[in-house]
Structure 1
Amino acid sequence: MHDPDREAASGELARFRQEFYDCVTARADVLFELADAVLCADGPVTSLVDLTLTPEHRRGHGALYDGLNSGRIDVARLRVDLARLSLPRTDDGRIVLAVDVSPWLRSDAATSAERLFCHVYGRAKSASQFIPGWPYSFVVALESGRTSWTAMLDAVRLGPADDATAVTAEQLRAVVDRLVTAGHWTNGDPNILIVMDSGYDVTRLAFVLADLPVEVLGRIRSDRVLRLPKLPRLPGVNGRPPKHGPEFALAKPATWPEPQHTTTTETTRYGTARADSWDRLHPRLTHRTCWLNHDGELPVIEGTLLRLQVDHLPGNRNPDPVWLWSSATDATGQDVDRWWRSYLRRFDLEHTFRLFKQTLGWTRPKIRTPEAADRWTWIVIAAHTQLRLARPLVEDLRRPWEKPAAPGRLTPARVRRDFRNIRPTVTLPARAPKPGKPGPGRPPGRKNRKPAARHDVGKTVKRDLTIAQHQGQKG
């Protein structure tokens, strides 16, 4: 039976597989088959060497490690290919992006370079710790509605010399530019919404990305103090005009004026959701941290403040209010509802991280060099992208104890179960392996006389001047 949608999905999957193969400029066959082994393995990926036992990987374990250590992937070209694929949109045609950092923990890898101390939450309440690892910043496009799918667009590993805010701004700018070039956004379309959780300097990102067609929405801490717009100057008052208005302390309701908009929504998961918004609130900036090298007068970055309160959380937990700040101003009640709903959709990225780590085995390999870790990360991203493109093509191979899924509502793990069956129907560009034999290796009894170098963990770049010295030079 002729099905245009199925044929279009099959064609898009076949094109991406060919483009991914063309992006691998060295050891292409083994790395491409490695991605297929990730997609077709029975059960979660637990080690790299086990992937060589799958029928889809026709080469030995030596070739696999040689591909990861010595292969090359044209990441710039692969990023362009990802941006050209079809993207999910909201009901009003808006693209919603989410950015977050997920660590690849390597606490026992003293010979691995460029590791940082990654923040990890502990099991107890308010317990956290810092473990060495490689942090990666991911950017995805979110779908509307409750789902575990995201469209992966970019990944950048944060190094010891990187400023996290500057790297995130550069990454988001590059992603938006590629989406515009690919034709996903044109003049007259709604602005692209970028959502993020706490930990990001949302006002700094809004200032740096102000020339792009984007709106930035992020969660802020509940102990922040913002400023209201400055009051009109009365006639006959002398002195310097004020730059900031009265304080708005998030922890002190007595400082809150009446909100411009208040919306209530009945939800099936959280009960009644109440959202209050205040327009044109801004932080009072100082010449510290990321604004240390800013020349001239510091800007006033105005936005909309949201306070979201729900009746209950899953597990009957008492919820605390969530504070959000958006770079857009003059918002309507409809904008307020769209913002907090989009923020909740940001947590779909957590499902992607869980899939990467628990099913696709992103953090399972004990890879030594950060360059090999980058190659493996992009192989996992390419595998996840193929799962997303294969959603309309697979059948639901559910377990006897699993409930049937509605058409188009299969989870990534259930799509992966049937990928082996559709793989022969799409492009298979990898060539057959040539006959060979393993190398001799190190002779028995001879010790390794060139031990690997050991590397310290953490930041390696310090400021030339302290904040006091820097301010003294400016004065």
Structure 2
Amino acid sequence: MSLLHRDARRESLAQLSSFREEFYASLTARSDVLFELADAVLCGDGPVRSLVGLSLVGEHRRGHGGLYAAVARGRIDTDRLREALASVPLPRAVDGRLVLAVDVTCWLRPAAHTSPERILCHTYGRGKDQHIPVPGWPYSIVCALEAGRSSWTAPLDARRLAPGDDTATVTARQLRDLVERLIAAGQWQPGDPDILIVADAGYDAPRLAFLLRDLPVQVLARMRSDRVMRRSVPARQAHTTGRPPRHGAEFVFGRPDTWGTPDVETLTDTRLYGTALARSWNRLHPKLTHRSSWAAADGTLPIVEGTVIRLDISHLPSGATPKPVWLWWSGTDAAPADTDRLWQAYLRRFDIEHTFRLFKQTLGWT
């Protein structure tokens, strides 16, 4: 039943109240102080500068001694908190599907010499063409993306990467646990469209798709412009001898003469980028080798087929020369509507970057 306009605010407050109760229940030690500390973090004016400064916020009614004791001895039932986050109403795409963005961001800790499990994190933007490794903690974060002109996201999970962790393996385990929680919470039911997972070029998209192949998910990720894919093996001719090949002809991103005719081609007029030309080629796969994340695989490596999409735009708002964007989707036989939906979903992935900026710069959660 839909609420009238004057009652819509009450429904939102009821959902917020229910989540706050679950959050409080997930605090298993020093719960009162930790709960007020969370309120102080959210209600403080400006970025968080120090813990002792939070004790002066009106929502924190205890002294700074109790605050430090709560941080040192407080405990959180993270499994219950994750279940609570998976149960709240989540934003969805136009077709009703959940779209999840995953990325790694680093909390830099250059001066915290006694902090455990620090990793050298590559930082960008500290000078032209300068990539400086700084000790810190990398976190894998998953957010549900909004639809339309909005940069808000719904953070659902965060896990710290330990030294030596394989990002693809840890992320796949994190996504599997999250998707299972979403299904248990009724966020996905049989007959609903598959959950779309969107990632940037730092992820091995075919490996993610292979590790999550038994779940109702699809993987969409950007690929570097120097990648080489393979086509499906053509039908074997009669009376042909010898071992049958496992891979077809090469599809080289940097060589247009290897592309052939695209299976789908669409043109879209956009507000910021002018005309967007999207072309897709079905059933392309990488030629896997026993290296990197596949080094521990036994036997013959799998064939992970998908759809390659190339996006070209007319111009950028900054005036810079636009570069083509290559995407790989774990689905096959994409229709024109699928192609447009996918590259638009990838553009929404950048909303997670706005979330990181909100956490670190606006709120000061560093």
TM-score band by shorter chain is over 0.9
In our comparison, the structure showing a higher alpha carbon Rg is 1
Aligned residues: 363
Q: Which residue of 2 aligns with 1:283?
A: 286
Matches within 5 A, 1:170-181: 170-181=173-184
Cα displacement (A) at 1:146: 2.2
More strand by share: 2
Cα displacement (A) at 1:2: 7.6
Q: Structure 2 residue aligned with 1:61, among 64, 70, 74?
A: 64
TM-score (norm 2): 0.97
Distance in structure 2 (CA, Å) of the matches to 1:161 and 1:252:
36
Percent of aligned pairs with the same amino acid: 60
Deviates more, 1:212-221 or 1:229-238: 229-238
Cα displacement (A) at 1:148: 2.0
- Structure-2 change in CA distance of 1:125 and 1:236 (3 Å): farther
Distance in structure 1 (CA, Å) of the matches to 2:166 and 2:33:
35
Helix, strand or coil for the counterpart of 2:35?
A: helix
TM-score (norm 1): 0.75
Distance in structure 2 (CA, Å) of the matches to 1:11 and 1:69:
32
- Structure-2 change in CA distance of 1:354 and 1:200 (3 Å): same
Structure 2 residue 170 is the aligned partner of structure 1 residue 162:
no
Helix, strand or coil for the counterpart of 1:258?
A: coil
Cα displacement (A) at 1:132: 0.7
Structure 2 residue 363 is the aligned partner of structure 1 residue 357:
no
Q: Aligned Cα RMSD in Å?
A: 1.3
Q: Which residue of 1 aligns with 2:123?
A: 120
Q: Which residue of 2 aligns with 1:213?
A: 216
Distance in structure 2 (CA, Å) of the matches to 1:163 and 1:35:
32
Cα displacement (A) at 1:124: 4.1
Q: Which residue of 1 aligns with 2:113?
A: 110
Helix, strand or coil for the counterpart of 2:307?
A: strand
2:267–2:275 contact (8 Å) kept in structure 1: yes
Question: CA-to-partner distance for each residue in 1:246-277, whole Å, 9 max, x for gaps?
Answer: 11110111111110001111111111111100
Q: Residue type matched to 1:320 in 2? A: K
Question: CA-to-partner distance for each residue in 1:114-161, whole Å, 9 max, x for gaps?
Answer: 001112113445432221100011111101112121011100011114
5+ unaligned residues in a row in structure 2: which ranges? none
Structure 2 residue 341 is the aligned partner of structure 1 residue 341:
no
Matches within 5 A, 1:39-438: 39-363=42-366
Distance in structure 1 (CA, Å) of the matches to 2:143 and 2:61:
32
Distance in structure 1 (CA, Å) of the matches to 2:214 and 2:230:
24
Distance in structure 1 (CA, Å) of the matches to 2:164 and 2:49:
32
Deviates more, 1:94-103 or 1:2-11: 2-11
1:261–1:278 contact (8 Å) kept in structure 2: yes
Distance in structure 2 (CA, Å) of the matches to 1:87 and 1:64:
32
Q: Residue type matched to 1:218 in 2? A: A
Distance in structure 2 (CA, Å) of the matches to 1:319 and 1:66:
53
Helix, strand or coil for the counterpart of 1:134?
A: strand
5+ unaligned residues in a row in structure 1: which ranges? 364-475
1:47–1:361 contact (8 Å) kept in structure 2: no
Higher relative contact order (CA 8 A, sep 6+): 1
Distance in structure 2 (CA, Å) of the matches to 1:263 and 1:242:
33
Distance in structure 2 (CA, Å) of the matches to 1:278 and 1:123:
38
